[in-house]
Structure 1
Amino acid sequence: MKNRAGVYRSSLSGEARYQSFVPSPLPPSPPLILDENMVNLLVAAHRSLASLESISSRLPGMKPLVSLYLRKEALMSSQIEGVQATLEDALDPMPELHAKRDVTEVANLIRASEYAINGLKTLPLCNRLIRETHAILMKNACGQESAPGEFRRSQNRIGGPGSDLSKASYIPPCPEDMERAMSDLEKYLSRDESREDSLDFLLRAALIHYQFETIHPFPDGNGRIGILLITLYLMDNKVLTEPVLYVSGFLKQNRIEYYDRMTEVRKKGNYEQWARFFLTAVRESSRDAISAIDDLSALHEKNVRVIDGLGRARINAGLLFDYLEAHPIIDIGKTAAALGLSYNAVASAAKRLIEAGILAQTENEGRSRKRNRTFAYEEYLNILKKGT
């Protein structure tokens, strides 16, 4: 049965027979129906996003926060795919002391995100950049089937662990159809002002994310790349100047609905219900980010006043405090090297911040109490950890 989202292709025969989905090229035909509810959601999403963009462009010290939010997004996006890691794991200054595969996967996504965002300065958002980003994401991944940086050459499926094609909840397009679909998607990603559809960029971002997840072009890592694609598309089209919109928290909290709504598009061609869900995600994610930035700004101002009252100790304490806002979990030795100060100077500054209630020593199993100690800016972390 055909709907405007695509058709099913039958493969093999007998008990081995299965049906893979072949998505129709974007934009949908007939076009999206923009009813009053959709328009209201679109306006609200843009208003919230514009407020977030305004704050991020004028707030002093926003660059370190953007970097930290990139790490939080990598964590949340990875958690959606079952990665077991915490924000503390992602920010650990000494990961080599307790390296875990899940932490490595989050670190890879952070590097992949940074690579892709920087790549937009010299490349359009295209399949080449997507593949190169995937290669970084899947570096040192377990199993040859991960095929870093390569589109898959075999049929994949979505389902529970150990499920075969006959029991899969969804079977993406076969490799031949996948290659064609990714070529069509690349054309839709291009910033062609002469294109026939005049859809708003947020609605296009919704369609692009759905389409990528439906195509599922890689053996592994599709979910993480698909979420990153939202930010990349909006930055490539100048809707965002900094990567400050992160929807993975909303998608994680509403994970079942997230999957169900994409399934509804494939089954019935109902793009509208997916678009409304996506716009809600943008609106709520923008509001959450604004709230967090407000809380972090208030915390910053409070602690700056505390440090200003430390007399002569305020200079090194201030340097360490600035460093903490980009690295809220620190090791004294590495921090001393980064700041160009002696070990004792940083240790003394850390002691002052502990006495002021800004910094706290963390509990680390298997580490010496004197060596390899780490310290955390806990109030700051608690704000960042919301939703994780």
Structure 2
Amino acid sequence: MPTSKIVSILSLLAFTTLLACGQETEPTPAASGVTLTIQGLSLEQIDRVVVTAQPSGVSATLTRTPPNQFFQGTLSLPEGQYVLSVEAFTADPSQPAVASGSANVTVTAGATSAVMIYMLDPAPDPGQQTLEPIIKSLTASKANPMTGEAITLTSDVVHPTGAAITYAWSSNCASGVFGDASAATTTWTSSTAGTCILTLTASVADKSATASVTVTVQPSPGTVNTGATYVPRPYITRLTMSHFSGGTTYNGVVTRGAPGSQTPGNFPPMPALKKMQFQIETNEGWVNKLLVTCNGTSTYATSTTQTCGNTTCFANFFFNSALPGSVCVLTATSSREYPGGALTDTFSAGVRVQ
């Protein structure tokens, strides 16, 4: 098993009882010395624990005899000041310590001292998926330019964390030329008449967002009433489910992660035969629905309220949970309608009824 899999679930404490050489106390594994006990999670994955006393350099390997939940061993130390260092290892000799800690201790003749050593997980911060930039607007200074006439393309793009954004403009018309294809605001000119789609791709690391504007280049003076409206695709970011009544409390949240991320995709088990409250949090989605499918039977949940800001909507629903033992899929749908169609996003999460 890789080290990262083990480290992520370790949370160890070392409890140390210090005895000066020659002192006797009950119970101990030996008549004198230092008795250590390591208590923690995933004990079956830990093969041994090594404790070392400095400056003497004396060390001992602690072992565990199942079903005992503790690692134990003994060090014989003269009285004085020591630094106890503790490291936990797996059975794989090629792996480094999966947890470690240290503490300053004093061994005093005729007295018993205790020290707690926190063994810290050395795994780095796992991080999260990159956030894509948000294109707030994209406009062209003129929708019907003449051939050879330059128009100005202006974009307003932001990133939720303020990261630097890279811009790339493209066109489906080979005759079109951008003044600066890597700038947020640029110019564009075409030597040939026709309808052209000018697309901006805004990127941060491995994530990008695109928006387009359509212009119609005229071969000669005239007027054509042409317009372009950007219809953003809805994006469901989070599903929340709760229940509060009759002494039963339930709260569940599923947050959307990028494909391949380790973000959990199912709700925790929910109570049976309860009125459940459900909320869809979506960007750019003004029509929202919730489909509840349990054991092959599907019904739409009842919509209650919907609150929308400039770009974000919170749509609320309620439904009655199924019988115990059922397995359900909760499918949220968010749509942004436009004349002739709609852009739709769906996001599903599973749940077991208990």
TM over 0.5: no
TMscore range, shorter length:
under 0.3
Higher-RCO chain (CA-CA 8 Å, sequence separation at least 6): 1
Query: Which structure would you say has the larger Rg?
Result: 2
| TM-score computed with the length of structure 2 as normaliser | 0.25
Structure that is richer in strand per residue: 2
| TM-score computed with the length of structure 1 as normaliser | 0.23
Structure that is richer in helix per residue: 1
